[in-house]
């Protein structure tokens, strides 16, 4: 089979399915549905470089998946097989989203960090200066790896929403200069860091790939923390002035068998 890998990062697919009880009542039931869908999910888990999280969704739909992987041909195969198998058992694909992991263009550069050290009175070439630079480079290497090649957490609560930046005459994010955008994003990131250890955030890029520009996937142990971080960020200028949001999809992470059982019972 052909392989298609990105220059950097992983491909990401979100799939949300809605059960159609009328179809199932009328006899559209796949006799081996649970076995076949379980086999597909197990294959994804065992495919090199791939990860999958399964959710029993709240309100809008019934079962959701977040899939990460390095090969787009494999990713498409898994997406089509899941969709087909669900449809044979009377389910509809309610919503889907395609994106890629990416690193932020607004992170602090080494040169900027060096300027900050000098401004604080730490002289270049000193042991303290060199140690701080070394720690900075290690931290940035870790940050880049986590952004491009994350490991999905086993946190029980999940929230997904798409977003984009405004292009209105008086609120056009892309008409701002890079320095102004970077300064605004510093404040935005500061809010996110307050929730470190409580909320795991994945911001994946979809410019040129889907209808929105980013997918936001949030994982938490307590739903309150996701509610709080989203609410607090609404007051940050980046969100208050320049952000537009799509529908929110929330769910509980659990095994596929448990999710199906909960929906069909």
- Give, for 13, the enclosing helix (H) or strand (E): strand 11-19
Rounded to an integer, the average pLDDT of 81-94 is 94
More confident residue, 108 or 148: 148
Rounded CA separation 58/46 (Å): 28
* Positions marked catalytic: 161
More confident residue, 167 or 249: 249
Neighbouring CB atoms inside 10 A of 106's CB total 14
31 domain-assigned: yes
36 domain-assigned: yes
140 domain-assigned: no
Residue with tokens 């997904």: 160
Range in 1-5, 164-168, 252-256 with the lowest mean pLDDT? 1-5
SS3 content of the chain, % helix, strand, coil (to 5): 45, 25, 30
Rounded to an integer, the average pLDDT of 52-72 is 97
More confident residue, 234 or 29: 234
Query: What pLDDT score was predicted for residue 115?
Result: 84
238 domain-assigned: no
Rounded CA separation 36/81 (Å): 10
Burial class (CB in 10 A: 0-12, 13-18, 19+), 140: middle
Rounded to an integer, the average pLDDT of 15-25 is 87
Rounded CA separation 155/97 (Å): 21
Query: What pLDDT score was predicted for residue 28?
Result: 67
Burial class (CB in 10 A: 0-12, 13-18, 19+), 214: buried
Residue 97 corresponds to which tokens in the numbers above? 């989203």
Confidence of residue 191 (pLDDT cuts 50, 70, 90): confident
Rounded CA separation 145/257 (Å): 32
Rounded to an integer, the average pLDDT of 200-220 is 96
**CATH number of domain containing 34:** 3.30.70.1030
Query: What pLDDT score was predicted for residue 7?
Result: 93
54 domain-assigned: yes
208 domain-assigned: no
> How many domains, the chain?
1
29 domain-assigned: yes
Rounded CA separation 118/254 (Å): 50
Range in 105-114, 140-149, 209-218 with the lowest mean pLDDT? 105-114
Asked if pLDDT for residue 141 goes beyond 90, the answer is no
Residue 193 corresponds to which tokens in the numbers above? 């860091």
Asked if pLDDT for residue 100 goes beyond 70, the answer is yes
**Among residues 175, 173, 178, which one has the least CA distance to residue 238?**
173
73 domain-assigned: yes
pTM of the model: 0.90
Instruction: Supply the range of the domain harboring residue 69.
Output: 11-102+254-264
3-state secondary structure of 103: coil
Rounded CA separation 241/64 (Å): 31
**Among residues 230, 226, 221, 148, which one has the least CA distance to residue 188?**
230
Rounded CA separation 129/120 (Å): 11
More confident residue, 18 or 112: 18
Asked if pLDDT for residue 223 goes beyond 70, the answer is yes
């Amino acid at each position: 089979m052909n392989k298609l890998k990105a220059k950097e990062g992983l491909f990401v697919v979100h799939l949300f399915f809605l059960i159609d009880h009328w179809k199932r009542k009328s006899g559209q039931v796949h006799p081996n549905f649970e076995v076949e869908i379980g086999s597909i999910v197990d294959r994804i888990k065992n495919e090199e470089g791939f990860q999958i999280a399964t959710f029993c969704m709240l309100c809008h739909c019934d079962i959701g998946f977040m899939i990460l992987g390095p090969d787009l041909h494999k990713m498409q195969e898994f997406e089509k097989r899941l969709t087909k198998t669900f449809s044979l058992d009377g389910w509809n694909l309610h919503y889907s989203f395609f994106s890629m992991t990416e690193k932020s263009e607004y992170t602090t550069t080494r040169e900027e960090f060096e300027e900050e050290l000098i401004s604080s009175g730490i002289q270049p070439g000193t042991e303290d200066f060199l140690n701080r630079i070394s720690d900075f480079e290690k931290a940035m290497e870790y940050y880049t790896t986590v952004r491009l090649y994350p490991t999905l957490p086993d946190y029980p609560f999940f929230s997904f929403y798409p977003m984009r930046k405004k292009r209105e005459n008086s609120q056009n994010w892309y008409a701002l200069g890079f320095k102004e955008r970077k300064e605004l994003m510093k404040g935005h990131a500061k809010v996110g860091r307050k929730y470190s250890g409580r909320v795991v955030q994945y911001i994946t890029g979809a410019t040129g790939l889907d209808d929105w520009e980013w997918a936001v996937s949030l994982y938490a142990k307590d739903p309150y923390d996701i509610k709080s971080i989203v609410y607090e960020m609404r007051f940050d200028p980046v969100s208050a002035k320049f952000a537009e949001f799509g529908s929110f999809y929330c769910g509980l992470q659990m095994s596929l068998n448990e999710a199906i059982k909960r929906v069909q019972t």
